[in-house]
Amino acid sequence: MLIVVYGGSGSGKSAYAENLINNLNQLRYQGRLPMYYLATMQIIGEEGEERVRKHRKLREGKGFATIEQERDVAEIIPENPHAILLECMSNLVANEMFRENGVIAPDVVEEKIKQDLEHLMESCELLVVVTNNVFEDGIQYDTDTMNYLNVLARVNAYLAEQADEAVEVVAGIPVKMKG
């Protein structure tokens, strides 16, 4: 089962996704699925480290084993069956696209992420993917940023198409868009 949770910055989407996967694991799978939190944030500087500490503290006691993987998420899949919360797609797209040695072509990034997602969907019983709404500011950015936004939009569309359920979280309120 694939569920996509979508929303703007500070919308409450992460907390919603954590509660959702935990509740589904309890109700549908009687708590038998090991839960993994697949964190994709690239930690840069003290601010990044502080965000990670904050997120770890918020997850404390919720039953997640955390896997920190900035890219190549299909390479770290634990044994079946399991529940995975991938947090978040916007970080993953950025990490796959922008590298120390340059920018990877948008079509290459999109295809790689879709293949990794297919592998995740095939490998686990419950996959919840958190992604961001970063498309509504109306600003025309530089070419690399616009390519990033276009890849993220296409990956989000792919996720929505593949998803059993899609939920947008607005000001902490979940609005079911699919399923």
What confidence tens digit (pLDDT) does each residue in 18-54 have? 999 999 999 999 999 999 999 998 888 888 788 778 8
What's the whole-model pTM score?
0.93
> Using CA atoms, how far apart are residues 11 and 28, in angstroms rounded to an integer?
26
Torsions phi, psi of 160, nearest 5?
Answer: -60, -40
- Alpha-carbon span 79 to 77, nearest angstrom: 7
3-state secondary structure of 55: helix
The C-alpha atoms of residue 98 and residue 2 are separated, in whole angstroms, by: 27
Q: Count structural domains, the chain.
A: 1
Sorted by sequence, the CB contacts under 8 Å of residue 172 that are 6+ apart come out as 11, 12, 15, 16
pLDDT 10s digits, 61-74: 888 998 999 999 99
Distances (CA, A) of 145 to 87, 131, 140, 141, 153: 21, 17, 9, 6, 12
Q: Give the tens place of pLDDT for each residue, 76-125.
A: 877 777 999 999 999 999 999 999 999 999 999 999 999 999 999 999 99
Question: For residue 52, what are the domain limits?
Answer: 2-178
Please give the Cα distance from 115 to 26 (Å, whole number): 29
CATH number (domain holding residue 100): 3.40.50.300
Confidence bin at 154 (pLDDT 50/70/90): very high
